[in-house]
Amino acid sequence: MSDAVLSIRPATPGDVSLILQLIHELAEYEQLADTVKATADSLHLQLFGQRPVAEVLIGEVDGTAAGFALFFHNFSTFTGKRGLYLEDIFVRPAFRGAGLGKQLMAALARIAVQRDCARFEWSVLDWNTPSIAFYRSLGAIGMDEWTVQRLDGTALHALAARDEL
């Protein structure tokens, strides 16, 4: 694949079924296939509806969809600027090693710089050593002093239902 043509483009509404398929492939890779709840309708609404909350880049190799990156903006109170948060990046196994992952990450970094973001962040599963090594090769540093916290399902609804001040 050394002479393959790599390209990155913003997703369009016509890509929703492709994005959903790539999400399912990513979930399989991460051993989380049973957790995917996204549908074509929910993705269309969230990515291309009246108030989009996230964006997607599609990576192609020789014109074939080979991967994606889904990202959105967050905000840093300390810097007083928004940041770019990469929720998911995935390159199909058959296309790994062609440089598409690096191109996707570089495209995201360019977007962050163009939009005056203070930083570009993402999370990675601690067992995913190939991805961690890839991110380190790009200059990323681990934020070992931070841990991700999450409320979902019953716990999220229980807290939302509390009316105590």
What residues are labeled active site?
Answer: 135
One-letter-per-residue 3-state SS of the chain: CCCCCEEEEECCHHHHHHHHHHHHHHHHHCCCHHHCCCCHHHHHHHHHCCCCCCEEEEEEECCEEEEEEEEEEEEECCCCEEEEEEEEEEECHHHCCCCHHHHHHHHHHHHHHHCCCCCEEECCCCCCHHHHHHHHHCCCCCCCCCCCCCCCHHHHHHHHHCCCC
What tokens appear for 164 in the block? 């105590």
What's the rounded Cα separation, in Å, for the pair 132 and 123?
10
